[in-house]
Amino acid sequence: MQDVTMMGMEVFNCLACYLPLRPPIYQCSVGHFICCSCHDKLPAEERKCSTCSAAISQRCYGMERVVDGILLPCKHGCKKKIAYHHRAEHESNQCRNRPYVCPVSGCRFSGTNAQLLDHFTARHKWKTKRFVYSVAFDLQVQPGYHLLRGGDGRVFLLNMAPPESLGHAVSLVSVKPIARGHVIRCSVGFSRFSGHYQVTWLELGSLSRSDGMLAECFFVVPKVSNGGVMLNITIDDGKLYEEDHDDDNYKDWEDEEVTYD
């Protein structure tokens, strides 16, 4: 395989969609290349080259070997060499050195995990609440972002969206990626009136590094006319459960609403 540092890489892009070619690769009788995705979108009787209108009729195994053999360095500085057609996916979703992006709309910050946490407190002035794993704590429902710091230094980002017709939409993720096989679970509950308590359980994910997006809303706190509502939150480090619980017991958790007589 050949390491490539300088080359006009556009010559290895599909002539129809302009994305990097990856096997299987097709060509017309003149020698123009098209990717499998563009090839399959064309009806069999209309598979004509977008460049010269010649028929696209065969695979190009030689070009497939070429694109599989071209290795490029990662722009984030990791030591891996990646096939050209895998580079974008690696740099966006797989590289451990890829930067974190601030989830605030309009904010263009990008940096390391440590820099992102400093950015949250220095630029956006978000307060941090410390908690102990497996010990419940209360947090008042207020629109905006909240930083929750565990005893091991891990920081979780909780977002309470402004109330819509249904109420406050709540999202909660770990800022730092959660290692494969490590499960962190959480329960969030609240009470709207005397005798009522509603709770949701979930398995936490991580903040997206490539676009700064949080996980989808998992919890909605209805608007209450008689004042503020407190969330009761418990975050459990998954390592505490590895020996005592079967993970299958947690796959289908749903909202549970309990009313006490």
pLDDT in tens, the chain (261 residues): 455 554 567 778 888 888 889 899 999 888 899 988 888 888 777 788 878 888 887 899 998 988 888 888 888 778 888 888 888 877 776 777 778 888 888 888 988 888 888 999 999 999 899 999 999 999 988 888 999 999 888 899 998 887 676 788 888 988 887 877 889 999 999 887 778 888 999 899 888 776 666 666 777 887 765 557 889 999 998 664 443 333 333 333 333 433 333
Return the CATH architecture of domain 2-94. 2-Layer Sandwich (3.30)
Q: Using alpha carbons only, give the angle 222, 228, 233 rounded to the nearest 5 degrees.
A: 75
- Residue 224: predicted pLDDT: 64
- Residue 9: predicted pLDDT: 72
Q: Taking the domain 107-259, which CATH number applies?
A: 2.60.210
- Residue 255: predicted pLDDT: 38
- Residue 53: predicted pLDDT: 85
- Residue 84: predicted pLDDT: 82
- Residue 175: predicted pLDDT: 87
- 150-179 burial, b at 16+ Cβ within 10 Å, e below that, comes to beeebbbbbbbeebeeebbbbbbbbbbebe
3-state SS, residue 118: helix
Domain limits, CATH 3.30.40.10, in the chain: 2-94
Which two structure tokens, joined as six digits, stand for 194?
Answer: 């005397």
Q: Using alpha carbons only, give the angle 148, 252, 159 rounded to the nearest 5 degrees.
A: 25
Beta strands in 53-191 (DSSP E): 56-59, 70-73, 81-83, 100-101, 110-111, 128-130, 137-140, 144-149, 155-160, 168-174, 184-190
Other Cβ atoms closer than 10 A to 77: 9
- Residue 256: predicted pLDDT: 40
In single-letter form, the type of residue at position 22 comes to R
Domain limits, CATH 2.60.210, in the chain: 107-259
- Residue 185: predicted pLDDT: 92
3-state SS, residue 55: strand
